[in-house]
Each structure stands twice: as structure tokens, then as C-alpha cells.
């Protein structure tokens, strides 16, 4: 008996549907397998990543990586290491507040600034900053501010406690009202001003212990046309600190006005006769003046030093690679099969952990920031050469 048409088509439809469901399950199964394999990842890649992390603490991993890694992986390690190593230097230079640093210990500098400002105010001498240039429009600097006809600069003197009737030069201000360039005139001042030969009539001849002095240097402020330079000295003539900068942050400022107003324009309160209450206010204004002036050159100086240190660090990485190569050249050293480029890759891989260690040490010890990476890196390479790459270690 023949099957009816509807029943036949219904049976065929069921077969097709079952077939599609089976194919769908197979595809889903295959996709699940692919997803599981994707989650597991490439075993070779995972092994390389693990080896890369091991190079931070294991010299054996450094040697293995230097022989197995492609060139770009060690290069990335070296670039990261060089960047990390300069972070303390870059950060410390960019955060410098030059005025506060320079005048952290004043050595009497604030007394000199007080008397200089009072002299400008009393004599009516204006030194005005116009478009980044310090000008004395009345041309009265030498006539009103010079200590004598032969001494064409300002000097503040005080009676010497250790030489009866004599005076000591405590502070001086030089203003470039000549045709010389600022740098040329500053070099002339530094070369010829300090130290003075002591003179019993004018300069201190004995220190606090009664020992005779042969020379003495005094704190001073150099005011060029476009730059300033300030230097402080201890009472014994030993150099304290110095700062240099530009005027471009304070266009329109008359230095004479700092005797009565702060650098922000606020009126000063105090006793002009004794200086009580004025000294610290004037000192605060000059701290701001020095800080702002130095900030104009700070960025350039920071990048210059950063570039120098980067160059030194890159050279160190190459040098350490050469050192590894040379130390494995012994006839009985089984590692003499290493090629130079493999040793260079080892040096690159070994560089990142010293860079990481140098960061906190550089922030804790400012002077260590410049050469901390080089010292730590050299120590690791020497340790690796003596232990991991020695003939005795290969025998073991």
C-alpha cells in the first residue's frame, strides 16, 4: 500500500531536520574545541613569556633568552630599561625650585639683598625688565650705586668683628651696563672678583678662630642684560651654591620696587631703619624671582641631561654585551660558541631589573640617580659572568 503524499513529505522533513541538528551539534562541538584551545593558548608563546619574566631574577634565563629570543624582544627590554633608568633624574630636575634650593642656606645673602634693595630705593635707581631685558634707562648705575670710582659695582660692607676699625665686603651686585655680552662679562666677573686678596684696611684678616686669612670670596648677584647669576659663599670664602636664569617671567618689574613691595605687588610692612620684618619678605620675593628665572632654562637643561644619561646607558648596554663576549672567549670555556650578537641580546635582557632597582634608589639618593643604573647593571653582568657563564658552572 502506497504511503500518502502528506505522510511521505512529513517523514522526509523529519530526516532533513535531524540531519541539520546533527550538523549543528558537530559544528558547536568543533567551535567549543577551538575555544578551549584558544583559552589554553600557544604553549611556545607562554613559555617565552615565562622566560622573559624569569630574566628579571635569573641569569640562566638571560643566557637562554639571549640564544633563543628574536632580536626585537631584547631590544624592547633594553628600550624599557633605558627609559626607566632616567625617570629619577628627569623627575628631580623638573621639580627643582631653584630659589628655594639656592637660598635654603643663605650664608647672609638675605642681608645683602636687603641693603641692596634699600640702596636702590634710596638712590632712586631703577632697573626695569622690558621684553626680557634688564635696562637702566637713566644710566645712573655707576654714578649712584658704585662703591668707588675704581669699584664700579655695588658693595655692601660691615664692620669686621675680628679686625678693629676694618670693614668686610659681605655682598656685591654687578650690573652689565657695558657693551660686552652677558656671558663675557660674567666670565670676567668670576675670573677677577673671587677670591680677593685680603687687605687689613678693608677686608677681614682673621677667621673666628683667629687664624689669618689670605683670600676671601663674597656672595654676589650678577645682573646681565638678559641673564642673572647669583652665587653664595660662606664666611670662610668656601662656595655655597649658585643659580642662573632669565628675566622673561617678570616683564615690567622694577627691582627697586622690591624694597617696598613683594614681587606680587603686596605692600611690605617692617622697619626700614633696622630691616626688621623686611628681610624675609625681600628674601621671599627673590626666591620667586630666581625660581621663575631658572624655570625658563630648566626644561632645556633637563632634556640635555636626560639625553646625556640615555646615551651613557645605551653605551653601557653595548659595553656589557662586549664584556660578556670577551669573558667567554677562553679556550676551555664551553660558552665560547656564543656569537657577539647573542651576548648583546643577553646584555639587553639583563638590563631591565637593574633599571627597576635604580628607580627607588635614585629618588632616595639624588646623586645616585645619575649612575645608579650603570653600577647595578655592571654588578649583575659581572656576577653572571663569574657564576653562570664560568667554565666551572658548565661542568656542573
- Domains of the chain: which residue ranges? 51-93+302-395, 98-297
Burial class of residue 167 in the structure, from the number of CB atoms within 10 Å of its CB (0-12 exposed, 13-18 middle, 19+ buried): middle
Max distance between CA atoms of the chain, in angstroms, equals 147
The CA angle 305-308-309, to the nearest 5 degrees, is 85
DSSP labels, 359-392: HHHHHHSTTHHHHHHHHHHHHHHHHHHHHTSSHH
Q: Which of 190-194, 242-246, 329-333, 344-348 has the highest mean pLDDT?
A: 344-348
Whole-angstrom CA distances from 375 to 75, 89, 110, 326, 365 are 21, 15, 41, 19, 14
Q: Which of 101-105, 156-160, 175-179 has the lowest mean pLDDT?
A: 156-160
3-state secondary structure 296-352: HHHHHHHHHHHHHHHHHHHHHHHHHHHHHHHHCCCCCCHHHHCCHHHHHHHHHHHCH
Residues 94-126 have pLDDT tens digits of 887 877 777 777 778 888 888 889 889 989 999
Q: How close are the terminal C-alpha atoms of the chain, in Å?
A: 89
Residues written for the chain = 396
Q: What is the mean pLDDT of residues 232-251?
A: 82
Burial class of residue 40 in the structure, from the number of CB atoms within 10 Å of its CB (0-12 exposed, 13-18 middle, 19+ buried): exposed
Residues 57-84 have pLDDT tens digits of 999 999 999 999 999 999 999 999 999 9
For residue 44, the tally of other CB atoms under 10 A from its CB is: 8
Whole-angstrom CA distances from 345 to 56, 354, 385 are 14, 16, 14
The secondary structure element, H or E, covering residue 136 is none
Percent of the chain with pLDDT over 70: 74
- Grid cell at residue 299: 626644561
pLDDT at 300: 84
pLDDT at 128: 94
pLDDT at 341: 94
27: confidence class by pLDDT, cuts 50, 70, 90: low
- State the Cα–Cα distance between residues 293 and 106, nearest whole angstrom: 18
- State the Cα–Cα distance between residues 166 and 308, nearest whole angstrom: 49
Residue 2 Rama label (left phi>0; alpha psi -120 to 50; beta) = beta
pLDDT at 229: 92
Q: Can you give the pTM of this predicted structure?
A: 0.67
Residue 375 bridge partners (DSSP): none
For residue 340, the tally of other CB atoms under 10 A from its CB is: 12
- State the Cα–Cα distance between residues 366 and 93, nearest whole angstrom: 10
Amino acid at each position: 500500500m502506497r504511503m500518502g503524499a502528506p505522510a511521505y513529505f512529513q517523514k522526509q522533513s523529519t530526516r532533513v531536520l535531524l540531519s541539520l541538528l546533527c550538523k549543528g551539534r558537530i559544528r558547536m562541538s568543533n567551535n567549543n574545541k577551538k575555544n578551549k584551545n584558544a583559552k589554553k593558548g600557544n604553549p611556545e608563546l607562554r613559555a617565552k613569556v615565562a622566560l622573559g619574566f624569569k630574566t628579571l631574577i635569573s641569569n640562566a634565563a638571560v643566557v637562554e633568552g639571549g640564544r633563543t629570543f628574536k632580536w626585537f624582544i631584547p631590544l624592547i627590554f633594553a628600550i624599557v630599561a633605558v627609559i626607566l633608568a632616567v625617570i629619577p633624574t628627569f623627575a628631580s630636575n623638573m621639580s627643582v625650585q631653584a630659589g628655594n634650593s639656592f637660598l635654603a642656606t643663605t650664608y647672609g645673602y638675605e642681608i645683602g639683598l636687603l641693603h641692596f634693595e634699600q640702596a636702590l630705593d634710596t638712590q632712586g635707581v631703577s632697573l626695569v625688565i622690558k621684553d626680557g631685558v634688564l635696562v637702566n634707562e637713566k644710566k645712573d648705575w655707576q654714578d649712584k650705586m658704585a662703591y668707588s670710582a675704581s669699584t664700579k659695582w655695588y658693595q655692601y660692607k660691615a664692620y669686621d668683628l675680628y679686625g678693629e676699625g676694618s670693614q668686610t665686603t659681605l655682598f656685591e651686585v654687578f650690573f652689565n651696563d657695558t657693551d660686552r655680552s652677558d656671558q663675557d662679562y660674567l666670565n670676567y666677573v668670576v675670573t677677577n672678583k673671587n677670591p680677593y686678596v685680603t687687605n687689613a684696611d678693608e677686608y677681614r684678616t682673621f677667621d673666628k678662630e683667629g687664624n689669618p686669612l689670605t683670600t676671601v670670596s663674597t656672595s654676589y648677584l650678577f645682573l646681565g642684560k638678559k641673564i642673572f647669576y647669583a652665587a653664595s659663599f660662606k664666611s670662610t670664602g668656601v662656595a655655597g651654591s649658585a643659580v642662573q636664569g632669565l628675566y622673561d617671567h617678570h616683564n615690567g618689574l622694577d627691582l627697586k620696587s622690591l624694597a617696598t613691595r613683594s614681587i606680587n605687588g603686596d605692600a611690605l610692612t617692617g622697619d626700614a631703619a633696622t630691616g626688621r620684618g623686611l628681610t624675609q619678605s625681600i628674601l621671599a620675593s627673590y626666591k620667586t624671582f630666581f625660581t621663575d628665572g631658572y624655570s625658563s632654562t630648566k626644561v632645556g637643561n633637563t632634556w640635555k641631561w636626560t639625553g646625556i644619561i640615555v646615551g651613557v646607558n645605551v653605551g653601557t648596554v653595548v659595553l656589557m654585551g662586549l664584556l660578556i663576549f670577551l669573558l667567554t672567549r677562553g679556550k676551555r670555556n664551553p660558552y665560547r660558541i656564543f656569537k657577539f650578537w647573542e651576548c648583546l641580546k643577553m646584555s639587553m635582557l639583563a638590563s631591565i631589573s637593574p633599571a627597576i632597582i635604580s628607580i627607588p634608589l635614585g629618588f632616595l639618593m639624588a646623586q645616585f640617580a645619575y649612575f645608579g643604573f650603570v653600577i647595578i647593571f655592571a654588578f649583575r653582568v659581572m656576577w653572571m659572568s663569574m657564576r653562570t657563564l664560568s667554565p666551572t658552572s658548565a661542568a656542573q
